[in-house]
Amino acid sequence: MKNRLIDHYLPADYVDKFSKRVEPATLTADKLFDYMFVEFPKPVIWLLALRRKLVSPFGLKSSVSFRNLIKERNDEEIILGLDDKHLSFWVSVYCSQPAGGKQDAEVSTVVWFNNTLGRVYFAFIYIFHKLIVGCLLRRAIRLSRLSA
């Protein structure tokens, strides 16, 4: 298997990966990033605004733009992430090179818990994370097909 940028952030306390086969192969990592982290559906915008209000009293970081969180990139993968006092996380947005008119699109999350608050926080948001990331990936694939 090809070395991926996200591998530099392992091992971790929590790791997940969502993947989808894309046909026709029209996605790039940049397009996938934009579809998932720039062009949000309204319910996700509302949830992110609620999160900002809930965590601000605890002094936790909250970025308005996911573009500000990009740490590294290459042609196939973009890594975004944040080191905070409660936890550190990194997200990989990856699109394989097209092969036979198909490609794989993947979103992986790596989390390190820095203290008990990080574990408690993640236990609270875990279900939202799983639901939202999976939905955003499926939506990004739909949008890529519409624009093909």
Domains: count for the chain: 1
- Residue span of the structural domain in which 123 resides: 5-147
For 64-82, how does the pLDDT look when each residue is reduced to its tens digit (9 = 90+)?
Answer: 678 999 999 999 999 999 9
Burial of 110 per CB tally in 10 Å (0-12, 13-18, 19+): buried
50: CATH:
3.30.530
For 14-67, how does the pLDDT look when each residue is reduced to its tens digit (9 = 90+)?
Answer: 999 999 999 888 899 999 999 998 877 777 777 777 767 776 776 666 666 789
For 1-15, how does the pLDDT look when each residue is reduced to its tens digit (9 = 90+)?
Answer: 468 999 999 999 999
CA atoms of 66 and 64, how far apart (whole Å): 7
CA atoms of 97 and 119, how far apart (whole Å): 36
- CA distances in angstroms from 90 to 21, 64, 143, 145, listed in the order given: 22, 16, 24, 27
Q: What percent of the chain has pLDDT over 90?
A: 65
Q: Tokens 């994370």 correspond to what residue?
A: 129
Joined together, the tokens standing for residue 8 give 């530099």
Given pLDDT bands bounded at 50, 70 and 90, which one contains residue 104?
very high
Give the residue with greater pLDDT, 131 vs 110: 110
Provide the pLDDT for residue 98.
93
> Crossing angle for the helix pair 29-37 and 116-147, nearest 10 degrees?
110
Joined together, the tokens standing for residue 56 give 């601000």
